[in-house]
């Protein structure tokens, strides 16, 4: 490991960046250095402009990925190397905001019915039941299932924020069957490597297989289950603040996106057009 990489990792750890974010930032910086065949300490604003031109026009990298690269390089130059030139030399692409894909309750049932493996069923049901991020699911431990209080202790929340999630009574029989069969002792969902939790890739793969078997015709990921959890809570009248807490969102503004994808929230609302006199609209009463 180079001294620069070690220094950057130490800076990220001091700021409590999530392990996944640390790995991503290190990979982005490594790719940047390989592109020029030089250490980032030898590169400056003109190289950054050239690199982002390359990502946009040659590599055809999407906006979301370019933002990740920009954040990694901003951290490197301004937090680790503390350069004196402006951060604006590292551009942040503008991303079009898209509404999340959400399954209806019936579609969730159809999806879960297509899960064959007991372990996969327990993983995906837990994800939906508590609205977990996939990284939160993979880092659950056996003792995090608190049956006495009917909660799930989420220790690896985004931004190192721990919280409690909902433990559904309907999830318990599935977890009991899985625990009896697998007998995990530390990680709730152990991975293929001894002593390691299941990987996020393995969860995503299980989700993809179930989606294909279900015939839903939608792109379903573990995060789709999290989106569906939040939307379904909103549709049955749960207030936004409670949903924010359950999801572990830092700001309620992040949670308000579900107002746009919950049809039941708008049920019964009248359009202003409905309040007009029919004669004024050219339509006979």
Residues involved in catalysis: 133, 158, 223, 226, 249, 258
124: tokens are: 């995906």
Partners of 187 in beta bridges: 141
- Burial pattern 12-27, b for ≥16 Cβ within 10 A else e, equals beeeebbeebbebbbe
Instruction: Return all residues near 119 (Cβ < 8 A) that are at least 6 apart.
Output: 178, 182, 189
248 Rama class: left (phi>0) / alpha (psi -120 to 50) / beta:
left
Looking from the CA of 222 toward its CB, the CA atoms found within 13 Å total 25
At CB < 8 A and 24+ separation, what contacts does 237-246 make?
245/163, 246/130, 246/131, 246/163, 246/165, 246/166
Looking from the CA of 93 toward its CB, the CA atoms found within 13 Å total 18
């Amino acid at each position: 490991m180079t001294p620069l990489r070690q220094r950057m990792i130490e800076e990220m750890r001091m700021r409590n960046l999530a392990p996944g974010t640390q790995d991503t930032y290190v990979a982005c910086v490594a790719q940047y250095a390989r592109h020029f065949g030089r250490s980032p300490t030898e590169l400056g604003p003109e190289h950054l402009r050239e690199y982002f031109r390359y990502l946009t026009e040659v590599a055809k990298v999407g906006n979301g990925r370019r933002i990740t690269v920009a954040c990694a390089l901003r951290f490197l130059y301004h937090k680790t190397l503390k350069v004196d030139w402006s951060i604006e030399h590292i551009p942040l692409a503008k991303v079009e905001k898209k509404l999340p894909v959400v399954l209806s309750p019936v579609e969730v049932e159809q999806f879960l019915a297509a899960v064959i493996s007991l372990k996969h069923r327990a993983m995906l049901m837990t994800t939906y039941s508590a609205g977990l991020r996939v990284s939160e699911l993979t880092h659950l431990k056996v003792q995090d299932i608190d049956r006495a209080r009917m909660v799930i202790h989420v220790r690896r929340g985004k931004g190192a924020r721990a919280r409690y999630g909902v433990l559904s009574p309907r999830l318990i029989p599935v977890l009991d069957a899985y625990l009896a069969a697998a007998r995990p002792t530390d990680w709730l969902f152990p991975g293929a490597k001894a002593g390691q939790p299941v990987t996020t890739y393995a969860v995503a793969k299980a989700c993809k297989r179930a989606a294909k078997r279900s015939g839903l015709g939608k792109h379903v990921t573990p995060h789709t289950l999290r989106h569906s959890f939040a939307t379904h809570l909103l549709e049955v009248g749960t207030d936004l603040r409670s949903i924010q807490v359950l999801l572990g969102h830092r700001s309620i503004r992040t949670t308000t996106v579900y107002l746009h994808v919950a049809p039941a929230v708008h049920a019964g609302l009248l359009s202003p057009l409905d309040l007009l006199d029919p004669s004024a609209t050219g339509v006979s009463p």
